A and B are shown apart, each in its own frame.
Chain A
Amino acid sequence: EVQLVETGGGLVQPGKSLKLTCATSGFTFSTAWMHWVRQSPEKRLEWIARIKDKSNNYATDYVESVKGRFTISRDDSKSSVYLQMNSLKEEDTATYYCIYGGLYWGQGVMVTVSS
């Protein structure tokens, strides 16, 4: 059974940093392309980042709104993917989901950016 479990969310002040972790199991992580998607309090979904596998040089892509502030990475030995979020803004407040294959989603983790 495919499982994705996100952790690391919470309340953070604007300008600060937070790192999300997605621990996975049930599939061959090392060859998987992994994604992060977020959902605003208004329920709007936004794809934010993708990381390819080793054979594709761990290439990354980001949505413009997070470029230069967020970094997606992975550790194949731990079957985990990460999202390092720096210079957080109030508009980054959302539930963040880790996704495999477009069809498998984690339960989500809430991030609130507020002073």
Chain B
Amino acid sequence: DIQMTQSPSSMSASLGDRVTITCQASQDIGNNLIWFQQKPGKSPRPMIYYATNLANGVPSRFSGSRSGSDYSLTISSLESEDMADYHCLQYKQYPYTFGAGTKLELK
């Protein structure tokens, strides 16, 4: 199975900060990766698909990038509504696998 190593597991940041979360894939997944945002009591919301594409309705301060086997989600200027859990998912190969998640909190 493809392992997705997500870091950090948690982080605190201030409003306006630039924030980056990373998932490292244990095998080649091409760009077959989705980033999700999840708030308490809600279903995961897709933010970025195919590693770099912004999903419908997602603010432009969110972006996705890839460097080799490392995939990153970046928030250019943190807003209060961005406090949430973030998950990555690889859909290159079955079984699809998720990262362990990142909890983003306000400093």
CB-CB nearest in chain B for A50: B94
Q: Which residues of A contact B85 (CB under 8 A)?
A: 43
Q: Are B34 and A103 in contact (CB under 8 A)?
A: yes
CB-CB nearest in chain B for A97: B43
Shortest distance from the beta carbon of A30 to any chain B beta carbon, whole Å = 21
Q: Which chain B residues have a beta carbon within 8 Å of chain A's beta carbons? A: 34, 38, 43-46, 49, 55, 85, 87, 89, 91, 94-98, 100-101
Shortest distance from the beta carbon of B71 to any chain A beta carbon, whole Å = 15
A44-B101, A61-B95, A103-B46 provided; 17 other pairs, C-beta below 8 A? A35-B96, A44-B98, A44-B100, A45-B44, A45-B89, A45-B98, A45-B101, A47-B95, A47-B96, A47-B97, A61-B94, A97-B44, A102-B34, A102-B46, A103-B34, A103-B55, A107-B43
Q: Which residues of A contact B46 (CB under 8 A)?
A: 102-103
In the A-B complex, the 7 residue pairs with the closest CB atoms:
A47-B96, A45-B98, A105-B43, A63-B95, A61-B94, A103-B46, A45-B87
Q: Which chain A residues have a beta carbon within 8 Å of chain B's beta carbons? A: 35, 43-47, 50, 61-64, 97, 102-103, 105-108
Q: Give the distance in Å from the alpha carbon of A105 to the alpha carbon of B91 in the complex.
A: 15
